[in-house]
Amino acid sequence: MGRAGKVSFFLTETGRQVVFYGATTVAIGIFAGHYFPHSICISYYREFVQAYKNGEERKLSEKLEQRYKRAINLLDLSEFEKKFAKPFMVYGFDVFNAGSFKTRFGAYVGIPSNFEYDSAATIDRADIKIRNQPIDWNSEAGKLLEDALVLSEDEQVFGIARELLTMKTYKSLIQSIIPTVSWMFTYALGSQLNERCNFYARPRSLRFILYTICGLFGFGIYSFSTDMTEIYYETDVDKQMARFGPDVIDAGVRFYDKILKKNVAIRKLTGEDYYTAKGNVNYLIRQKAAPLTLRKEFFQTGYKEFIGTEETS
Please tell me the distance from the alpha carbon of residue 276 to that of residue 294, in angstroms, as a whole number. Answer: 14
In a domain, 66, yes or no: yes
Determine, yes or no, domain membership for 59: yes
pLDDT grade for 311, boundaries at 50, 70 and 90: low
Query: Where does the pLDDT of residue 1 fall: very low under 50, low under 70, confident under 90, or very high at 90 and above?
Result: very low
Q: Identify whether 124 is part of a domain.
A: yes
What is the domain range of residue 55?
Answer: 39-168+244-311
Mean pLDDT of 288-308: 87
pTM for the predicted model, two decimal places: 0.90
The angle formed by the CA atoms of residues 277, 125 and 260, to the nearest 5 degrees, is 20
Evaluate whether residue 12 is within a structural domain. Answer: no
pLDDT tens-digit map of 157-174: 999 999 999 999 999 999
Which of 197, 226, 208 lies closest to 288 in space, CA to CA? 226
In a domain, 265, yes or no: yes
**Residue with more model confidence, 281 or 201:** 281
Angstrom distance (rounded) from CA 51 to CA 160: 17
In a domain, 16, yes or no: no
- Strand 107-112 relative to strand 96-99: parallel, antiparallel, unpaired? antiparallel
> What integer pLDDT is reported at residue 7 of this predicted model?
53
8 falls in which pLDDT band (50, 70, 90)?
A: low
Number of domains in the chain: 1
In this prediction, what percent of the chain has a pLDDT beyond 70? 94
Which pLDDT belongs to residue 3?
47
Identify whether 101 is part of a domain. Answer: yes
| Nearest Cα residue to 230 out of 310, 294, 291 | 291
